[in-house]
Chains A and B, each alone.
Chain A
Amino acid sequence: MTEPQTNTLRGEGISLSFGGIKVLKDLDVEFRAGEITGLIGPNGAGKTSLFNCLTGAYTPQKGNIGYAGNSLNGLPPSMRAAKGIVRSFQHVALCPDLTVRENVMIGVARNHHSGWLNAFLPLPRGQREWAAMAQDANRALADLGLAEMGDLMPDALPPGMQRLVEIARAIVGNPSVLLLDEPAAGLNNSETSDLMAVLRELASNDLVLVVVEHDMDLVMSICDRIYVLNFGELVADGTPKEVRENPNVVRIYLGSDDD
Chain B
Amino acid sequence: MSDTFGQRPANASETSMLKQLTSGSLPTLALIIALAFLPAMLGGSWTFTMGLCFANSIGVLAVSLLVRYGGEVSIGHTFFTALGAYSVGVLDAKYGLSLFASLPLALLLGVAFGVIFAWPSRNLSGIYLAVTTLALALAVPEIINNLGGITGGYEGLYVSTPIVSFLEMSMQRYYFALLMLVVATYLVARLRKSRQGMLLLLAKTHSAAADAFGTRRVWARISIMGISGGIGALCGATLAFSGSTVSPGGFTFSQAIFLLVGSVVGFYGLSLPRVLLGGAFVTLVPHLLSASGAWIPVFYGIALLSMILIGHHLPRIRKAMKLRKEAG
B214 touches A194 (CB 8 A): no
* Complex Cα spacing A57 to B73, Å: 27
A148 touches B5 (CB 8 A): yes
Cβ contact of B201, chosen from A98, A107, A122, A194, cutoff 8 A: A98
Given A82-B214, A86-B213, A150-B12, the answer on whether A109 and B187 have CB atoms closer than 8 Å is no
Give A190's nearest chain B residue, CB to CB: B1
Please encode chain B, from 178 to 214, with 1 for each CB lying within 8 Å of some chain A CB and 0 for all others. Answer: 0000000001001101111111011011101101111
* Complex Cα spacing A129 to B204, Å: 22
B13 interface residue, CB < 8 Å from A? Answer: yes
Closest-CB distance, A255 to chain B (whole angstroms): 27
Cβ contact of A133, chosen from B195, B201, B204, B211, cutoff 8 A: B195
* Complex Cα spacing A57 to B190, Å: 32
A151 interface residue, CB < 8 Å from B? Answer: yes
* Complex Cα spacing A102 to B216, Å: 19
Cβ contact of A116, chosen from B196, B204, B213, cutoff 8 A: B196
B1 touches A81 (CB 8 A): no
B215 interface residue, CB < 8 Å from A? Answer: yes
Which of A148, A149, A150, A191 has the most chain B CB atoms inside 10 A of its CB?
Answer: A148
* Docked complex: A142-157 residues within 8 A CB-CB of B: 145-151
Could you say which residues of chain A place their CB within 8 Å of the CB of B202?
Answer: 95, 98, 103, 106
B212 touches A81 (CB 8 A): yes
B318 interface residue, CB < 8 Å from A? Answer: no
Could you say which residues of chain A place their CB within 8 Å of the CB of B197?
Answer: 119
A93 touches B209 (CB 8 A): yes
Could you say which residues of chain A place their CB within 8 Å of the CB of B1?
Answer: 145, 190-191, 194
A148 touches B2 (CB 8 A): yes
* Complex Cα spacing A56 to B198, Å: 22
B206 touches A93 (CB 8 A): yes
Which of B191, B196, B205, B212 has the most chain A CB atoms inside 10 A of its CB?
Answer: B212
Could you say which residues of chain A place their CB within 8 Å of the CB of B204?
Answer: 95, 97
* Complex Cα spacing A121 to B208, Å: 29
Give B219's nearest chain A residue, CB to CB: A78
B212 touches A87 (CB 8 A): yes
* Docked complex: B51-102 residues within 8 A CB-CB of A: none
* Complex Cα spacing A93 to B2, Å: 22
B8 interface residue, CB < 8 Å from A? Answer: yes
* Docked complex: A85-134 residues within 8 A CB-CB of B: 86-87, 89, 93-98, 101-103, 105-107, 109-110, 112, 114, 116, 118-122, 126, 129-130, 133-134
Could you say which residues of chain B place their CB within 8 Å of the CB of A101?
Answer: 13
B16 interface residue, CB < 8 Å from A? Answer: yes
Could you say which residues of chain B place their CB within 8 Å of the CB of A109?
Answer: 195, 198-199, 213-215
B190 touches A151 (CB 8 A): no
A106 touches B190 (CB 8 A): no
Closest-CB distance, A126 to chain B (whole angstroms): 6
Could you say which residues of chain B place their CB within 8 Å of the CB of A194?
Answer: 1
A78 touches B211 (CB 8 A): yes
Cβ contact of A55, chosen from B16, B195, B212, cutoff 8 A: B212
* Complex Cα spacing A134 to B193, Å: 11
A102 touches B198 (CB 8 A): yes
* Docked complex: A44-72 residues within 8 A CB-CB of B: 55-57
* Complex Cα spacing A102 to B197, Å: 11
Could you say which residues of chain A place their CB within 8 Å of the CB of B13?
Answer: 101, 134, 150-151
Could you say which residues of chain B place their CB within 8 Å of the CB of A55?
Answer: 212
Please encode chain B, from 2 to 46, with 1 for each CB lying within 8 Å of some chain A CB and 0 for all others. Answer: 100100100011001000000000000000000000000000000
Which of A78, A110, A130 has the most chain B CB atoms inside 10 A of its CB?
Answer: A78
Could you say which residues of chain B place their CB within 8 Å of the CB of A81?
Answer: 211-214
Could you say which residues of chain B place their CB within 8 Å of the CB of A76?
Answer: 211, 216
* Complex Cα spacing A190 to B1, Å: 7
A77 touches B211 (CB 8 A): yes
Give B189's nearest chain A residue, CB to CB: A120
8 closest A-B pairs by CB: A110-B214, A119-B194, A81-B214, A93-B209, A77-B211, A93-B206, A119-B196, A120-B187
Instruction: List 5 A-B residue pairs with CB atoms under 8 Å apart, sorted by A's residue number.
Output: A82-B214, A93-B206, A119-B197, A147-B2, A150-B12
**8 other contacts beyond A57-B212, A82-B214, with CB at 8 A cut-off?**
A76-B211, A81-B214, A95-B201, A107-B213, A109-B213, A119-B195, A126-B195, A130-B193
